[in-house]
Amino acid sequence: MLNTALLEQALSGMPLRRAGDLAAIQHHIRAHRVRETLSPVAGVGDAGPRSAPAAPTSVHLQLFPDCKVGATDDAVRQQIDQLLRLRGVIGQALEKARQEKLIGNSLEARVTLKCDRKTLGSASKEELEEFFILSDLIIEDADEVSASVEKTPYAKCARCWRHRETVGQSTVHPDLCDRCVSVVTTK
Ligand SMILES: [Zn+2]
């Protein structure tokens, strides 16, 4: 269901904190993905839930709020558009690498993304790795957007399946990355 507090914050026109920005964007990406998934024709998102009458009892019949928020917050909308474009470029590079058997799945990839850093806003590398669902992202400043893929040299974390530099550094949990170590040790 919707995070109404987050939406209210996004709609308020107040400057959003960085974490809030990313959370808002991630929310919209998730809505975008769900719509794509539910659509009867792949890639034709509008043919799905939008054409159905809204009903609170089924996710298949619910509408998503992305247009409403996007129309009232240009900065967030522009960053969503930009990140979606970059995600598309990365997705094409990953698909090519998969077809060439360079990688088995996207979490085995080290992606070098070239783009104008300003278009990434205030999102950190870690936040972008989560946003693009990647293990290993390198960002280089460039005028032209492009993405290249190689196999990451890092080991796979047994918990989150990301290949991360910190896997093996913990003596207590040598099969986990630093983030997962912190999660399991604070439980
Ligand atoms: Zn992990």
Residue 77 Cα, ligand 1 centroid: separation in angstroms? 31
CA of 129 to the centre of ligand 1 (A): 13
Q: Which domains does the chain have, with CATH numbers?
A: 2-61 (no CATH), 74-153 (3.30.2320.20), 154-187 (no CATH)
Q: Write out pLDDT tens, residues 128-145.
A: 999 999 999 999 999 999
Report the separation in Å between the CA atom of 171 and the middle of ligand 1, taken as the mean of its atom positions: 15
Task: Tell me the two tokens of residue 56.
Answer: 């609170």
Give distance in angstroms: CA of 121 to centre of ligand 1: 26
**Contact by Cβ (8 Å): 132, 90:** yes
Please tell me what DSSP assigns to residue 117: G
The model's pLDDT over 61-106, given as tens digits with 9 standing for 90+, comes to 766 655 555 445 788 888 889 999 999 999 999 999 999 999 999 9
Angle, helices 74-99/18-38, rounded to nearest 10 degrees: 60
pLDDT band of 33, cuts 50, 70, 90: low
CA of 163 to the centre of ligand 1 (A): 8
Q: How far is the CA of 87 from the centre of ligand 1 (A)?
A: 22
Q: What are phi and psi of 151, to 5 degrees?
A: -80, 130
Distances (CA, A) of 43 to 33, 66, 85, 142, 157: 10, 17, 15, 29, 32
pLDDT in tens, 37-59: 444 444 344 444 444 445 556 66
Distance 74 CA to ligand 1 centre (A): 35
pLDDT value at 186 more than 90? no
How many other C-beta atoms lie within 10 A of the C-beta of residue 86? 20
Flag whether the pTM goes above 0.75: no
Q: What strands lie across the sheet with 109-115, from one edge to the other?
A: 136-141, 109-115, 146-151
Ligand 1 center to 120 CA (angstroms): 24
What is the average per-residue pLDDT within 6-30? 49
| Span from the CA of 166 to the centroid of ligand 1 (angstroms) | 9
From ligand 1's centre to the CA of 30, what distance in Å? 21
pLDDT greater than 50 at residue 168: yes
- Ligand 1 centroid to Cα of residue 183, in Å, is 9
169 or 58, which is more confident: 169
CA-closest candidate to residue 90, choices 115, 116, 70:
115
Q: State residue 182's pLDDT score.
A: 95
Please state, rounded to an integer, the average pLDDT across all residues of the chain.
77
